[in-house]
């Protein structure tokens, strides 16, 4: 072990010597320095001296960058980040992840740069949430701006970003990334993946107290003919049932919907949010409460006249309040039981509904009155 440590120290000293200039050496020998720092980093890593290994790999990354070997620079900065992580120096680890991603992006490797930022965000999430969030946002933005890599490479970054934001309850940010992920699945002709995003979006919007936003967004998806295959998926149907459960204001209905097996195939954080949903999570406008709203037309039962229950039209004005009825001794009013009964059922009248006698007599009197 002591021999290994001595070798590491000698390699570090040799690397530093190659960086210097003299009267006869006008430029640093970065290639030789790179080799020495790599050797030192490997020795320190074997000794489990994580802090020293992190320093050595960072120097190797700098030497590689000076040699314009950007991929190697990114790789060594990432190794340095891992060593500082193991040494519990999360601030230094974050710096190394940041530099690694910058090297990969400069080299045109959007996928590797985004992957490093996601790894860094996971490492420092609890220690520095603000910086972790910036890492995730940069990773997502890199894919939004890139038009050189196949779109399927972006899917894992988007998924990691969704989990990150949902875990921190940054619901609006999660919804934005879910919409990007849905578009990626749609472009790749993966309707099931897109439908999972749709269900997760509805869950997140309800948790954000945005019932109308969820209702409008899902309605637009269902009405979009270009998304018909997505709209036919079980996840989208379940999203609609979820909104209906909120409209019904039934705890039992909501529990039945969120207990469906389809939810277990969502992101773990989206599943957790779904299981936590209650009717108090999102306010439902009164016009959306209940099946088909509260404006159904009233009905009146006409079984006694041989008809089924039908929607009741506005009742016509009742004739018979003129002098002719007085001349007939009130027979005109008594001769119109059907109209009077219907009016009484629809809007309470101050006078009681007339009593019906024998049906044949009523029809005869009604006919006489009309003639």
Q: What is the CATH number of the domain that holds 260?
A: 1.25.40.10
- Grouping H, G, I as helix, E, B as strand and the rest as coil, residue 299 is strand
Question: What are the tens digits of pLDDT across the range 256-266?
Answer: 999 999 999 99
Question: What are the tens digits of pLDDT across the range 212-223?
Answer: 999 999 999 999
Q: Copy the structure tokens of residue 278.
A: 């209650």
C-alpha 130/C-alpha 199 separation (Å) is 28
Within its chain, how far is the Cα of 42 from the centroid? Answer: 43
Quote the pLDDT of residue 291: 65
C-alpha 281/C-alpha 274 separation (Å) is 11
Whether residues 288 and 325 share a domain: the answer is no
Let me know if residue 352 belongs to a domain: yes
Whether residues 246 and 336 share a domain: the answer is no
Within its chain, how far is the Cα of 175 from the centroid? Answer: 4
Whether residues 259 and 322 share a domain: the answer is no
Whether residues 254 and 207 share a domain: the answer is yes
Whether residues 248 and 345 share a domain: the answer is no
Backbone angles phi, psi at 89, to 5 degrees: -100, 80
Quote the pLDDT of residue 304: 34
Let me know if residue 356 belongs to a domain: yes
Whether residues 274 and 352 share a domain: the answer is no
C-alpha 86/C-alpha 351 separation (Å) is 89
Q: How many residues does the chain have?
A: 371
Let me know if residue 289 belongs to a domain: yes
C-alpha 212/C-alpha 22 separation (Å) is 72
Quote the pLDDT of residue 316: 54
Quote the pLDDT of residue 313: 52
Q: Copy the structure tokens of residue 37.
A: 């720092």
Question: What are the tens digits of pLDDT across the range 11-66?
Answer: 999 999 999 988 788 899 999 999 999 999 999 999 999 999 999 999 999 999 99
Tally of domains within the chain: 2
Consecutive H or E run containing 300 = strand 299-300
Quote the pLDDT of residue 147: 85
Burial label, 173 (beta-carbon count in 10 A; 0-12, 13-18, 19+): buried
Q: Are 354 and 340 in contact (CB under 8 A)?
A: yes
Let me know if residue 135 belongs to a domain: no
Band of residue 341 on the pLDDT scale cut at 50, 70, 90: low
Quote the pLDDT of residue 39: 96
Quote the pLDDT of residue 10: 94
Whether residues 218 and 282 share a domain: the answer is yes
Quote the pLDDT of residue 26: 87
Let me know if residue 273 belongs to a domain: yes
Quote the pLDDT of residue 22: 82
C-alpha 88/C-alpha 127 separation (Å) is 11
Torsion of CA 159, 163, 166, 167, to 10 degrees: -170
The parent domain of residue 284 ranges over: 190-296
Whether residues 332 and 283 share a domain: the answer is no
Q: Which of 342, 339, 337 is nearest to 363 (CA)?
A: 337
Let me know if residue 84 belongs to a domain: no
Let me know if residue 107 belongs to a domain: no
The distance in angstroms from the start CA to the end CA of the chain is 122
Band of residue 301 on the pLDDT scale cut at 50, 70, 90: very low
Domain boundary among 296, 328, 351: 296
Q: Copy the structure tokens of residue 182.
A: 């849905």
Band of residue 314 on the pLDDT scale cut at 50, 70, 90: low
Q: For the chain, give the percent of residues with pLDDT over 90.
A: 72
Please say if the pLDDT value at position 370 is more than 80. Answer: no
Let me know if residue 109 belongs to a domain: no
- Least confident range from 198-202, 280-284, 297-301: namely 297-301
Whether residues 225 and 289 share a domain: the answer is yes
Q: Name the DSSP letter for residue 151.
A: G
Whether residues 329 and 279 share a domain: the answer is no
């Amino acid at each position: 072990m002591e021999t290994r440590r001595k070798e590491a120290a000698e390699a570090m000293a040799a690397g530093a010597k190659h960086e210097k200039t003299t009267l006869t050496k006008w430029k640093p020998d970065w290639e030789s320095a790179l080799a020495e720092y790599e050797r030192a980093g490997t020795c320190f890593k074997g000794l489990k001296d994580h802090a020293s290994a992190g320093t050595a790999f960072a120097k190797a990354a700098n030497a590689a960058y000076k040699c314009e070997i950007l991929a190697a620079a990114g790789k060594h900065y990432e190794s340095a980040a891992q060593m500082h992580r193991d040494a519990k120096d999360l601030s230094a680890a974050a710096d190394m992840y940041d530099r690694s991603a910058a090297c990969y992006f400069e080299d045109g490797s959007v996928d590797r740069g985004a992957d490093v930022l996601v790894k860094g965000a996971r490492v420092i999430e609890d220690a520095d949430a603000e910086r972790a969030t910036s890492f995730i946002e940069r990773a997502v933005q890199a894919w939004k701006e890139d038009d050189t890599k196949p779109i399927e490479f972006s899917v894992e970054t988007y998924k990691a970003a969704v989990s990150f934001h949902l875990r921190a309850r940054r619901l609006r940010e999660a919804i934005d990334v879910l919409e990007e992920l849905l578009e990626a699945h749609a472009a790749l002709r993966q309707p099931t993946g897109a439908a999972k995003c749709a269900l997760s979006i509805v869950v997140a919007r309800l948790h954000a107290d945005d019932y109308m936003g969820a209702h409008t967004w899902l309605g637009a998806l269902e009405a979009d003919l270009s998304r018909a295959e997505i709209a036919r998926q079980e996840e989208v149907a379940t999203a609609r049932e979820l909104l209906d459960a909120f409209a019904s204001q039934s705890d039992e209905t909501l529990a039945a919907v969120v207990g469906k097996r389809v939810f277990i195939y969502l992101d773990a954080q989206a599943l957790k949010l779904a299981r936590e949903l209650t009717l108090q999570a999102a306010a439902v406008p009164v016009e959306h409460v209940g099946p088909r709203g509260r404006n159904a037309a009233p009905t009146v039962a006409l079984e006694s006249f041989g008809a089924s229950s039908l929607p009741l039209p506005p009742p016509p004005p009742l004739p018979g309040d003129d002098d002719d009825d007085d001349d007939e001794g009130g027979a005109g009013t008594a001769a119109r039981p059907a109209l009077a009964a219907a009016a009484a059922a629809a809007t309470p009248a101050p006078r009681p509904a007339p009593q019906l006698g024998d049906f044949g007599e009523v029809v005869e009197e009604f006919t006489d009155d009309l003639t």
